[in-house]
Amino acid sequence: MRIPKLLYGTAWKKSDTARLVELAINTGFRGMDTACQPRHYDEAGVGTGIAACLNSGLARSDLYLQTKFTSVGGQDPQRIPYDASAPLPTQVRQSFAASLRNLQTDHLDCLVLHSPLPTRELTMSVWRTFESLVDAGGVRQLGISNCHDLADLQRLHQQVRVKPAVLQNRFFADTGYDREIRAFCTAQQIIYQSFWTLTANPGILAHPTIAALASQHHRTRPQILFRYLTQAGIVPLTGTQSATHMREDLSIFEFELDDAERAAIDALL
């Protein structure tokens, strides 16, 4: 299935989540990223924002909804959205059911493992349960996030029946911008999604190369970086709370960087 080339990220929006999701969709975003993790996300708020837009005539099939299963270690102990004492497969199913309720939908376009679990066996237990949800028709695609070890990703891809369609990672210098992992994703037709793309890269945004391209194209520096990434086959997440920035983010598809310009940015990443 097709993934929008730019996703709206809903982390850290708290009580503003519903309003911002509605604003993002009305501005033109068609892909939403969230998680069943009350610690950082208001998943029910995402559902409320979506419902307001669907009531205005938008169809569910127009949207790409992606959420995550977050293991106990990544949850707020006071607000775990499933029975933490239950077997891991049950936790996954309960989290999935909560996501359907929160998002007011009967299926997910993508279900992402928020991060690998402490052992391969535990990760595989989650993934096998994910596969059963795909088999039952409740999930269209599977993905994994926060996986910066190429060997782990390769092993997962080799061992599972339903292959990961999405990898979502922080995009920053400390991991070498995941160059080897991105090459593997390209070879295996896995969509690489970047988050923390602007916040983690102030040096890149301030670089004279980016500044010169922004001036030449009459665009902002974030627009240049986002456009570069989309032309490289990466799907960036943007979590802006500004209507102006939302419009600017979506307008990156109104221009293209040529081969020489992209090569200049390649040298930075």
Show me where the domains of the chain are located: 7-197
Query: Residue type for 191, please?
Result: I
Tokens of 166: 């999405």
Question: Which pLDDT value is given to residue 1?
Answer: 76
Q: C-alpha distances in angstroms, 151 versus 184, 194, 225, 247, 248?
A: 10, 19, 28, 38, 37
- Residue 10: which pLDDT band, with cuts at 50, 70 and 90? very high
Q: What percent of the chain has pLDDT over 90?
A: 98
Contact 126, 118 (CB under 8 A): no
Say yes or no to pLDDT of 90 above 80: yes
pLDDT higher than threshold 90 for residue 149: yes
Average confidence (pLDDT) over 7-12: 98
Mean pLDDT, the chain, rounded, equals: 97
Rounded to whole angstroms, how far apart are CA atoms 93 and 87?
Answer: 10
Distances (CA, A) of 80 to 32, 36, 127, 147: 22, 9, 20, 23
**CATH superfamily of domain region 7-197:** NADP-dependent oxidoreductase domain (3.20.20.100)
The H or E element that residue 33 is part of is strand 31-33
Percentage of residues of the chain with pLDDT beyond 70: 100
